[in-house]
Amino acid sequence: MTVHDDAVRHRETVLGLWAACQDRDWTRYADHFAPDLVCDIWQTRELVRGRADWVRFNAEYPGDWRIEVVRVVTDGDGAVSWVRVHVGDQHMTGVSFFTFAPDGRVSRIDDHWPEPYDPPAGREHLVERY
By CB under 8 A, what part of segment 91-130 binds a copy of itself?
A: 93, 95, 97, 110, 112-119, 122-123, 126-130
Q: What is the DSSP string of 30-93?
A: HTTEEEEEEEEETTTTEEEESHHHHHHHHHT--S--EEEEEEEEE-SSEEEEEEEEEETTEEEE
Sequence letter at residue 70: V
Q: How far is the CB of 103 from a copy of itself (least distance, A)?
A: 20
Nearer to a copy of itself, 102 or 129 (CB): 129
What residues line the site for a copy of itself (CB under 8 A)?
Answer: 2-4, 7, 41-49, 53, 56-57, 60, 62, 71, 73-75, 77-80, 82, 93, 95, 97, 110, 112-119, 122-123, 126-130
